[in-house]
Amino acid sequence: MARDPKYDVLFEQVQIGPKTLKNRFYQVPHCIGAGSEKPGMQAYHRGIKAEGGWAALCTEYCSIHPESDDTSRLSARIWDEGDVRNLAAMCDRLHEFGALAGIELWYGGPHAPCMETRHNPRGPSQIASDYELNIFPRYMDADDIATVHQMYVDAAVRAREAGFDIVYVYGAHAYLPFQFLSPYYNRRTDEYGGSFENRARFWREALYKVREAVGDDCAIASRFAVDHLMGPVSIEAQKDGARFVEYADDLVDLWDFTVGDIAEWGQNAGPSRFFEENHEKPYSGTIKPGNHTNKPVVGVGRVTNPDTMVAIVRSGQFDLIGAARPSISDPFLPKKIEEGRFDDIRECIGCNQCISRWEIGGPPLVCTQNATAGEEYRRGWHPEKFHPAANREKSVLVVGAGPAGMECAMVLGKRQMEAVHLVEAEREIGGCVNWISLLGHSDGRPNLHRGTARGLGEWKRIVNYRQIQLDKLRNVEIHTGSRLSAEDVRNYGAEIVIVATGCHYATDGLNAATHAPIPGADTSLDWQMTPDEVALGSKEVGRRVLVLENEGYFMGASIAQKLAGEGREVTLVTQAKEIAGYMEYTLEAPMLHRDLHRLHVDMHVYTMIERIEPGVCHAYNVWDPEHKHEFEVDSVVLCTARLSNQELYREVKADKGRLDQEGIEAVYVIGDASAPRMIVDSIFDGHRLAREIDSPHPEMPLPFIRERRLWGEASNEDYLRQLANTADVALV
Amino acid sequence: MKFVVCVKQVASLDEEFELLEGGGVDSDFVEWELNEWDTFSLEAALALRESGEGEGGEVVAVTVGEQEAEEALLACLARGADRAVRVWDESLQGADPLAVARVLAAVVERESPDLVFCGVQSSDAVTGSTGTALAGYLDMARVAVVTALSYDAPSSTLTVDRELESGLVEVVRIGLPALLTIQTGINEPRYATLRAIKQAREKPLVTYGLEDVGLDAGAVGVAAGAHTIELQTPERGAGAQLLDGSPAEVAARIVEIVQERMSG
Amino acid sequence: MSDGGVLILAEARQGELREVSLELVSAAREVAAGVGGRVAVAVIDQQAERFANAVGADGVSEVLTVTSPTEHFEAHVWQRALEGLIERERPAIVLAGHTIDSLGFVPAVAARLGLGFAADVTAVWWAQGPRARRGAYGDKLHAELDFPGKSCTLLTVRPGIFAAAPAGSGAAAARAVEIDLDGTARTEHVEFRDVAIGDVDITKAEFLLSIGRGIEDKDNIPRFEHLAERFGATLSVSRPLVDAGWMPNARQVGQSGKTVKPRVYLALGISGAVQHLAGMRSADTIIAVNTDPEAPIFGVAHFGAVADLFEVADELERALG
């Protein structure tokens, strides 16, 4: 189908300095866990997006020198010829698809702990990082400033050699250039501190020198947090923010605007539970309309709706539609808009699982919606291309249409298996997502900072996307409202049976902290309940509620938020050092804590429940079990262990004779039914099995390419040979 | 008891279909499937057969359609119909509901069932006429748009709900033999397992020409009620007619338009 | 064989004339001149004459009454009655409403008498013979029909397409037509019953009041629920409201929700993202209220108002009393 003329504006060319962007889709710099150490992943992850129509793709932040070392987190680096060689692989790949390659030159100052290099970062003033623990920068004198400027120049020259078209001086997220600009970091009294012009000097000089060095060949970009969101103590969009843009406008070919800093960069990469699409508009979206720049501007805001994109361009908010997360979730977003395939767009749900892995310290990125993210090279998976399965004549029954089952059936369908039946016990497909997506709300009032607890409604996109895709697949039938027994499964007539029956919450308080049930815990009682019972409203909750949060992710905190938002007195207890620890990694924690605090949720960390009695929970401090505490409550919610619903799998598998008799050749178990896990991993599990359904032992994942240094002689041919052996060769 | 279930393989158009020159739709943009209403009428027959009263009965699925309509019949056989009949003749291309009913009548007469089930309408033609026209040809007692049914064996009567406009239902009794046109939602249609789908291919499915059911193309042509001159794409997107004025005036116009469009 | 003219079949239920009867009078005007001859309205009822005045609207030359032996509509009695009317009056065109009652007998009459026939037509006109338009492929296309070789053509007309003619006041002469209907009934009326409204199925609703992001706050939902109730509409929503967790997925119109085809779709505060339009563009009548004149919803709407939806909603409440 031809493109709707309404979207033509998104496909106009844009000139940035000496380079031309073929359209307005721009992947801003974002981490993936590849850096310069995994050149294959770097080249193929970005390359798939280039194939999908993006006009430019950038590296993640790229260190310009060993004294800007972010270990344990993983950045790219352009320190030497080896890095040039590895990053050139990405540039070459992008150029094959007519896309431009961008590099984000980064010097972190005190936010770079240098745990690998053991250098000492320099900074404008000797104030410890508000992000790292106990990292102090060395005060930069005039010589230091010249030295660091030369680091930018040397890195830019190497970047040009690698083939980059766009060279950034990265000053967002409170890294070094911003530290000079912001009085919050910069307490200097020399010509680099004090007045606006003095604070802006370091950045201007860096831009000037980089431009002098490579500006004839490369577009010069700068990423700038136009508002630190800290008020008058730092940069505000309508004051020094707009002023700096005007001040440095002559030195850039492209502005990349963000908000906030690194310590709470969830204000920029806003999770959907607090921020909606295009949420940065009140800050970064005001600069261009305010006539503060004559240069093209790119900005972000997890924009997945083509109409929002058109509105952004038409209103002059941005010239380019910047995307990190939407490009991970759907590398083919531009192509799908161009071809009018709107219902094929796999929209980002804003869960920030992608970011969590970088926060953890650099494992490959993951994506809830796009199981192929990060697997493009090492497993050879392509998000839009699927090889017909070698055993496609086998009929498949998938039992359970939760995240794992939906994904598995969808990929089996796309691999052209001739007959796939996805059978679900409930009325609707979606499994746990159907009730989880009801969570995340409190009372709907504005939070203490920006955004509100708007909830996990967008997570429902997990179901929506798969429902639409499954409906299109003529070889996949979905049957709902049908709970299959083991005998039903045996008689179903499938040659391959895949069990994806999910999991349930422990009813007796079994938990990871004590490895035992909690005496007195029993959710068959009307005043004790599991999280799903709260979400679905199937039990009456009393005025005073204790929520026991042993899981460490969103569940306990979300239940507490909901119940407190409804006006109850909520006590939230965890054995861990913090509530919902994983939400630190997904950047949801700061806003969550603001909401819990605002709602007067009474939180107790390092605390575990040892006994539950009617009206009272007996607790103790995990470091001092003799330190007891009693909580008087009316209801108790147990977010304790989850247990696989694996009876069906066990029962079907047990009778080998019957399996033979009924012609069932294989029985697999995936997702939570195999072992409880996060949704992102359930979807991966379902996808993985379907991608490898024709491998010799589908239950065992095939090996993937490990990008590591091979001792002695090694060449790219080693890797390419391995790639050719994977189940699904996308791009060889 | 013996049941005949009349079904149809319906066409649904892709969002972006194209018209062929000289009318008709480019078949690349058409998908075929068993009419949704017929899944409910088949289920009604299967359920009645499985209930005490109807046990041991035979369910025969009948369609008028080209080769690809066998998919609809296979879907019925997989769900539990015992055998299937397809009637086709090139002269039936684009046949209207009266012509189709005329052909179905010839088949049903030969089967002489106790009950004939039809869907209220098909999702593509949406005439709602074929079942009642069939009853006309057969001179058979019928109730249209049935949303509930129960069978009383001793009196050989059915008590059925007839769905009327605006949330009203009329309950009526009807004796056998009879024809019912079945509304969606009356039951929960079963689905076929993979095994049943495979086994459906072993069940009897016969194909008849018009002469096999004692008809000729001329008789069917005479029965046809209408002739299609051409197919057109509806005019859309010509832009909205603007409702001007104060909020009160806009509201008054909206109420007027709604009442006008919803009346009848 | 035909004496010409148009015969309209009026419809009543539980002692009330149904609006479609007077819409058919308007429809008849489209063909009356072409076909020539009289326009007669027939009423079949146990007390058919009680509707004679009302159906004798402007342009109706004669009212025919047929006395039914049954108190309520009975498909087989009505079938015989209509057959009798057509045999005696020999009209060239017969118009009936495309209603549930009609579905039970009108096609049978066409089949038995070998008439020209089309159901659910949305336009009728005369061009050397009757012509009609109806939907095809689930209304994605229109089919233009003629009825060659037929001296009488029976059409069921979609309700709501033609404006109802003002009811008459007895100007047209009434004539009783005697048709022997005794013993023709084959079903037995038991009772009328109101159906309990169960789970909402927006795909089956005829009138959807749909709200979107424009309603701004979750707290505003109840007032639109109330408005929908007052209006006799079913409430549906666009995706942002489901994404925000304000409304259940079952109420969502659009690509990722339900595809709907109501007779009227009233969109308040919905901009009309492509994903939304895909789910509602085939509604018969689309009315949109939005503050943004550039909102894409106006591209598919039949009626649009650039206005504050809260003000319009308040006025709607007022207008509905």
Least confident span in A26-35, A722-731, B70-79, B92-101 = A722-731
Which pLDDT score is estimated for C1?
40
Residue labelled with tokens 């080896």:
A82
Which pLDDT score is estimated for B100?
96
Q: Is it the case that residue A1 has pLDDT exceeding 70?
A: no
Write out the residue range of the structural domain in which residue C291 sits.
202-319
Which pLDDT score is estimated for B200?
97
Q: Is it the case that residue B164 has pLDDT exceeding 90?
A: no
- pLDDT by residue (tens digit) across A502-528? 999 999 999 999 999 999 999 999 999
List residues of A whose CB lies inside 8 A of any B CB.
Answer: 1, 340, 395, 397, 419, 421, 474, 477, 479, 481-482, 491-494
Nearest Cα residue to A160 out of A55, A88, A58: A88
Task: Grade residue A6 by pLDDT with cuts at 50, 70 and 90.
Answer: confident
**Co-location of C106 and C254 in the same domain:** no
Q: Chain B residues with CB inside 8 Å of C25's CB?
A: none
Share the mean pLDDT of chain B.
Answer: 90
Shortest distance, CA C47 to any CA of chain B (angstroms):
20
Buried b (16+ CB within 10 A) or exposed e, C171-209: ebebeebebebeebbbbebeeeeeeeeeeeebbebbbbb
Q: Which chains touch C (3 or more CB pairs under 8 A)?
A: A, B
Task: Grade residue B51 by pLDDT with cuts at 50, 70 and 90.
Answer: confident
Nearest Cα residue to A172 out of A67, A322, A48, A72: A322
The shortest CB-CB distance from A494 to any of B16, B31, B194 is to B194
Task: Grade residue A292 by pLDDT with cuts at 50, 70 and 90.
Answer: very high
**Co-location of C223 and C107 in the same domain:** no
Sort strands C141-146 and B227-232 into parallel, antiparallel or unpaired.
Answer: antiparallel
Percent of chain A exceeding pLDDT 70 equals 97
Least confident span in B19-23, C14-18, C59-63, C97-101 = B19-23
Residue A365 CA to residue A375 CA, distance in Å, equals 9
DSSP C225-245: HHHHHHHT-EEEE-HHHHHTT
- Residue A287 sits at φ, ψ, to 5 deg, of -70, -50
| Residue C172, phi-psi category: left (phi > 0), alpha (psi -120 to 50), beta (remainder) | beta
**Co-location of C259 and C217 in the same domain:** yes
Share the mean pLDDT of chain A.
Answer: 95
**Co-location of C19 and C159 in the same domain:** yes
**Co-location of C167 and C207 in the same domain:** no
User: In terms of pLDDT, which residue wins out, C296 or A323?
Assistant: A323
Identify whether the C-beta of residue C98 lies closer than 8 Å to the C-beta of residue C158: yes
Residue C243 inside a domain? The answer is yes
Put simply, the chain C residues between 154 and 183 with a CB less than 8 A from any chain B CB are 154, 159-160, 163-164
CATH number at residue C241: 3.40.50.1220
Task: Grade residue A35 by pLDDT with cuts at 50, 70 and 90.
Answer: very high
Last residue of a domain, one of C142, C176, C210: C176
Which pLDDT score is estimated for A731?
37
Which pLDDT score is estimated for C54?
93
User: In terms of pLDDT, which residue wins out, A504 or A449?
Assistant: A504
Asked if C307 and B175 come within 8 Å (Cβ–Cβ), the reply is no
Which pLDDT score is estimated for A319?
98
Nearest Cα residue to A311 out of A14, A10, A2: A10
Mean per-residue pLDDT for C96-104?
95
**Co-location of C62 and C149 in the same domain:** yes
- pLDDT by residue (tens digit) across A691-718? 999 999 999 999 999 998 888 876 777 6
Mean per-residue pLDDT for B58-70?
96
Which pLDDT score is estimated for C283?
87
Q: Is it the case that residue A90 has pLDDT exceeding 80?
A: yes
Residue labelled with tokens 């007390």:
C47
Asked if B195 and A493 come within 8 Å (Cβ–Cβ), the reply is yes
Q: Which residues of A are catalytic?
A: 175
Residue C195 inside a domain? The answer is no
R_g of chain A computed on alpha carbons: 27
Least confident span in A372-376, A490-494, B47-51, B208-212 = B47-51
Q: Which residues 6+ apart lie within 8 Å of A647 measured at CB?
A: none
Which pLDDT score is estimated for B238?
55
Residue C247 inside a domain? The answer is yes
The shortest CB-CB distance from A441 to any of C240, C245, C256 is to C245
Q: Chain B residues with CB inside 8 Å of C143's CB?
A: 228-232
User: In terms of pLDDT, which residue wins out, C271 or B120?
Assistant: B120
Q: Is it the case that residue C288 has pLDDT exceeding 60?
A: yes
Sort strands B83-87 and B58-64 into parallel, antiparallel or unpaired.
Answer: parallel
CATH number at residue C75: 3.40.50.620
Which pLDDT score is estimated for B22?
62
Mean per-residue pLDDT for A8-27?
98
Which pLDDT score is estimated for A651?
97
Q: Is it the case that residue C130 has pLDDT exceeding 90?
A: yes
CATH 3.40.50.620 fits B2-238, yes or no: yes
Q: Which amino acid is at C97?
A: G
Size of interface B-C (CB pairs under 8 A): 284
Mutation target for A interface from C247, C249, C270: give the one with most A CBs within 10 A.
C249
Residue C184 inside a domain? The answer is no
Q: Which chains touch A (3 or more CB pairs under 8 A)?
A: B, C
Total structural domains in chain C? 2
**Co-location of C152 and C289 in the same domain:** no
Mean per-residue pLDDT for A84-102?
97
Last residue of a domain, one of C126, C142, C176: C176
**Co-location of C29 and C164 in the same domain:** yes
Asked if B248 and C194 come within 8 Å (Cβ–Cβ), the reply is no
Q: Is it the case that residue B235 has pLDDT exceeding 80?
A: no
Structure tokens, A618: 């007996």
Percent of chain B exceeding pLDDT 70 equals 92
Beta bridge partners of B31: B12
Residue C86 inside a domain? The answer is yes
Is B187 touching C (CB cutoff 8 A)? no
Task: Grade residue A732 by pLDDT with cuts at 50, 70 and 90.
Answer: very low
Mean per-residue pLDDT for A524-537?
96
Which pLDDT score is estimated for A729?
43
Residue C188 inside a domain? The answer is no
Q: Is it the case that residue C205 has pLDDT exceeding 90?
A: no
Shortest distance, CA C94 to any CA of chain B (angstroms):
13
End-to-end CA distance of chain C: 53
Q: Is it the case that residue C198 has pLDDT exceeding 90?
A: no
Share the mean pLDDT of chain C.
Answer: 90
Residue C183 inside a domain? The answer is no
